[in-house]
Structure 1
Amino acid sequence: MKPCTSLSHSTVSCLVDKESFREDISGFSFPIEAGPIYQTLDRCMSNTPHIIGGGPALAREFPHAARLGHRSDADQVDWFCGGTLISDRHVLTAAHCHYSPQGSVNIVRLGDLEFDTDIEDADPQDFSVRDYTMHPEYYYPEMYNDISVVTLSRPVIFNEYIQPACLPFDDGRAVSSFIAIGWGQVESIPRTENKRLQKVRLYNYGTRCRITSDKIDELPEGYNATTQLCIGSKEHKDTCNGDSGGPVLICHDDHPCMYHVMGITSVGVACDTPDIPGMYTRVHFYLDWINQQLSKK
């Protein structure tokens, strides 16, 4: 375990939450004056990652997964972005999600697995948005500094379905592969609406995006290796429409059922095109700014 003195409040919090919901403590009584001896059984250690090639997520596999949307005055909700719970009041997402044609983000769903059904193993809860803060150097429609922290209207009560992800220990340059999750479409043609949370393993393409991405209106200076991750696959595996704002993750070194959010789904060059990686906001670069937002009351 990394020393806590080097970790953010959110990272320490996510480890404490792991102890609350992933560990069973059992007592063994012995005839000694010291009293019972307790043994901690770590349910997390036996819960190894299930991602191989991609597919539906399992129940409680990603308890930090958030879905963001807009609730209209007529009480109709359009869901259009993803996010990551990082504390009991804050969700990390992409800044461009606040410019959706459906309206800005004003509702967050936590604890869900498959929308529009009550039979799955889940605990869906909706939270109103108190406010949100986009990075001060994000300028829509450009995709640089594409990061936002959403503040919920009330604290989250953690359980086995709803828990925060950890913030990153490093910038991800040495990471070979990531796990992307989201409720976005599962096929680019035809567009297929997806109700169930999906997962896929994607790979670190280093600085390949300098070659594969042209300078466009959203990225007038091209790929920025300091603030963006370049991630993709040689196969037909990708994030796509509706996945924006959701996380790309790595497993925690000591507790494989826990995750660090390394990136935020931001901009794709060609959805579902082999060997054409997309660009994701590099979360580690923004840690100081994120922690400033978490410290606000």
Structure 2
Amino acid sequence: MSLFFATVFYFGFVYVVRGLAFVDSAKTEHSHCVCVPFWQCKEDFSGLEDDLGVMDIRSVFDDKVSAPCTDDLDVCCKVECGKGSGSASVYIGDKMYYAISEQATSSRIMGETRNAEFAEFPWMLGILKGRTFKCGASLIHPKVAVTAAHCVSSKAIYTVRAGEWNWEEKTEPLEHQDRAVDKVIFHSDFQPESLQNDIALLVMKLPFKLTSNVGVVCIPTRNSDVDMRKCVATGWGKNSFKKGTYQPILKKIDLPLIQRNKCEFALRRSRLGPTFALHRSFMCAGGERNRDTCKGDGGSPLMCPLVDQPDRYQQVGIVSWGLTCGLANTPGVYVNVVIFSDWIDKQMRDLGFDTQLYRY
């Protein structure tokens, strides 16, 4: 499925991450971190000075993180799920590199979608079957991605790409990373015909390195507090159902969540008929003409900002299915991620992975 868009270009900055300190243990607090220059770890610089006001940046986090950084100017900064760099430019060393984007005056194709900024959604992944783009996904752990079950097969060989932004550009500020999929874990109740329980986890053979453009998204619990009016979907899918083309630059579109009864009523008025019942594993968003996800966006995340931290996102949905694309009064249908929160935790514990990394 795809996104209709108008381009917008923002300027800002992020710093390059110099390395990764990675300890995978559910029992270790702050077990995942990225090594960054000390001035980047906290916006207010708190916690970086001792009682005498003298910085000891080599041992600041010794009591929290068991994997120290090798550079004397670096500290091991805790990974925060659902938080992107949100910038179109990146410092590498002392030089700034600008991400390549379309001009802000580019013509609008359909709706109000627009280019995502470089590293704005660092958990956004692309699934490749051979050299062919298959679907989207999102990173919840350096070795685990979540996607729609209909996107993958247990018999096929897949590669997952993280840190990608523009598939046609080879001079992006930071390189993308590719990892081979070792295992696909399908929900046991997944129904390929109806797409009920349309969720799967992809386990990588090797972990991704967490950097400015590769991060993890938050997975909500039942008591999560998100702003349902400001949700956003991302993807590289087609911009039209019949004659559309896949988009090289990651697109984003604002899609408010739709109440379940209103969604079911709208779908019953379609060709699905008056007896259609929306399965509990689904939720809905959108419903405005020409503002929708479309073919190729399957498996991609639908995210809502936290009420108390609007710059951080929880993934509430996974692009699953819809009736063509962009029909008025016909919402898109997404996997309801929150009801699978416990299932995700169980699979992660069975794998021996930390379940707190993707929790807010």
Query: Is 1:129 equivalent to 2:184 in the alignment?
Result: no
Task: Give the secondary-structure state (helix, strand or coil) at the position aligned to 1:96.
Answer: helix
- Structure 1 residue 20, shift from structure 2 partner: 6.3
Task: Give the secondary-structure state (helix, strand or coil) at the position aligned to 1:86.
Answer: strand
Task: Give the secondary-structure state (helix, strand or coil) at the position aligned to 1:293.
Answer: helix
Alignment deviations for residues 236-264 of structure 1 (CA, whole Å, 9 cap, x no partner): 11000000000000123454443211100
Query: Is 1:69 equivalent to 2:128 in the alignment?
Result: yes
Alignment deviations for residues 15-51 of structure 1 (CA, whole Å, 9 cap, x no partner): x659969634758999x9734379xxxxx9997899x
Q: Confirm or deny: 8 A CA contact 2:84 2:215 kept in the other structure.
A: no
- Structure 1 residue 169, shift from structure 2 partner: 3.6
- Supply the distance in 2 between the matched residues of 1:140 and 1:191 (Cα, whole angstroms): 25
- Give the match for residue 5 of structure 1: none
Query: Is 1:106 equivalent to 2:165 in the alignment?
Result: no
Residue type matched to 1:57 in 2?
Answer: A
Task: Give the secondary-structure state (helix, strand or coil) at the position aligned to 1:138.
Answer: coil
2:246 counterpart (193, 200, 216): 193
Where does structure 1 lack aligned partners over 5 or more consecutive residues? 1-8, 39-43, 72-76
- Give the match for residue 176 of structure 1: 229
List aligned pairs for 1:208-287, cutoff 5 A. Answer: 208-214=262-268, 222-224=277-279, 226-287=280-341
Alignment deviations for residues 195-216 of structure 1 (CA, whole Å, 9 cap, x no partner): 1111000121212221222598
Query: Is 1:166 equivalent to 2:200 in the alignment?
Result: no
Q: Confirm or deny: 8 A CA contact 1:66 1:110 kept in the other structure.
A: yes
Q: Select the structure of larger CA radius of gyration.
A: 2
Change over 3 Å in CA distance of 1:133–1:244 after alignment to 2: same
- Supply the distance in 1 between the matched residues of 2:277 and 2:235 (Cα, whole angstroms): 25
Alignment deviations for residues 153-188 of structure 1 (CA, whole Å, 9 cap, x no partner): 101210101000011144789723410001101223
Alignment deviations for residues 106-132 of structure 1 (CA, whole Å, 9 cap, x no partner): 110000001031123342111100001
Kindly report structure 1 stretches of 4+ aligned residues shifted beyond 4 Å: 16-22, 24-30, 44-50, 171-174, 214-217
Query: Is 1:55 equivalent to 2:114 in the alignment?
Result: yes
Task: Give the secondary-structure state (helix, strand or coil) at the position aligned to 1:213.
Answer: helix
- Supply the distance in 2 between the matched residues of 1:175 and 1:116 (Cα, whole angstroms): 33
- Supply the distance in 2 between the matched residues of 1:79 and 1:69 (Cα, whole angstroms): 5
Q: Confirm or deny: 8 A CA contact 2:84 2:119 kept in the other structure.
A: no
Q: TM-score under structure 2 normalisation?
A: 0.65
What is the CA RMSD across the aligned residues, in angstroms?
3.8
Task: Give the secondary-structure state (helix, strand or coil) at the position aligned to 1:238.
Answer: coil
Residue type matched to 1:142 in 2?
Answer: S
- Give the match for residue 117 of structure 1: 169
- Give the match for residue 52 of structure 2: 34
Q: Confirm or deny: 8 A CA contact 1:47 1:257 kept in the other structure.
A: no
Q: TM-score under structure 1 normalisation?
A: 0.78
Q: Confirm or deny: 8 A CA contact 2:267 2:276 kept in the other structure.
A: no
Q: Confirm or deny: 8 A CA contact 1:27 1:37 kept in the other structure.
A: no
- Supply the distance in 2 between the matched residues of 1:192 and 1:211 (Cα, whole angstroms): 31
Q: Confirm or deny: 8 A CA contact 1:216 1:222 kept in the other structure.
A: no
Where does structure 2 lack aligned partners over 5 or more consecutive residues? 1-25, 57-79, 89-110, 353-360
